[in-house]
């Protein structure tokens, strides 16, 4: 215990971590960007591929919860898990990668807003341009929930580790006016 007393103590708050060396931060950001591009390709293949066989079965859903109820009413639980879980999993990479690629979007509300906007655009494209696909608001909700999970589990910590804020230098206190 004597060794611990001789070491100087430094008071650092959670936001005053020492940043990683620049080459490590650049490499981590480039890796995250590469994964984000790969994710975009997978997302496009999964959601924007025509499904002519489903054309007669598709309909748009603008009422939150309507598709979820339909998924849960299916006779096979496996089908509901695939639909709901798949949509949640599609959002997880956003929650992990967005705060790493774009550190200004690190906050939870910014990540959720950006995810919702991107997923709305994907759903609009599906409904308007892709045969056998339709707009579904529940998909947007599930994708955004997945981003929340990804952000809370890994994205926030990963972003803070890579893009740590530099410690602020002590500023002199402002003089108080005297009467």
Q: What is the pLDDT of residues 72-94, one digit of tens each?
A: 888 888 888 888 998 999 899 98
Looking at residue 92, its pLDDT comes to 92
pTM over 0.85: no
Do the domain assignments include residue 11?
no
Report whether pLDDT(153) > 60: yes
Do the domain assignments include residue 13?
no
Do the domain assignments include residue 168?
no
Cross-strand pairs, 61: 136
CA torsion, ordered 142, 104, 169, 13, to nearest 10 deg: 10
Q: How many domains does the chain have?
A: 1
Q: What is the pLDDT of residues 122-140, one digit of tens each?
A: 899 888 888 878 899 999 9
Structural domain of 112: 19-49+61-162
Do the domain assignments include residue 176?
no
Q: What is the pLDDT of residues 98-107, one digit of tens each?
A: 998 888 888 8
Do the domain assignments include residue 4?
no
Do the domain assignments include residue 14?
no
């Amino acid at each position: 215990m004597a060794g611990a007393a001789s070491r100087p103590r430094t008071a650092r708050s959670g936001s005053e971590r020492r940043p990683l060396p620049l080459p490590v931060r650049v490499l981590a950001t480039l890796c995250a960007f590469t994964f984000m591009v790969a994710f975009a390709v997978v997302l496009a293949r999964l959601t924007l591929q025509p499904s002519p066989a489903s054309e007669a079965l598709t309909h748009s859903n603008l009422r939150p919860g309507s598709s979820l109820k339909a998924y849960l009413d299916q006779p096979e639980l496996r089908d509901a898990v695939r639909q709901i879980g798949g949509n949640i999993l599609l959002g997880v990479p956003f929650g992990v990668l967005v705060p790493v690629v774009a550190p200004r979007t690190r906050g939870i509300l910014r990540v959720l807003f950006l995810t919702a906007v991107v997923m709305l655009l994907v759903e609009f494209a599906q409904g308007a341009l892709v045969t056998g696909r339709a707009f579904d608001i529940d998909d947007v909700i599930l994708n955004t929930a997945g981003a929340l999970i990804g952000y809370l589990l890994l994205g926030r910590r990963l972003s803070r580790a890579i893009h740590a804020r530099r410690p602020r230098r002590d500023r002199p206190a402002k003089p108080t006016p005297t009467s």
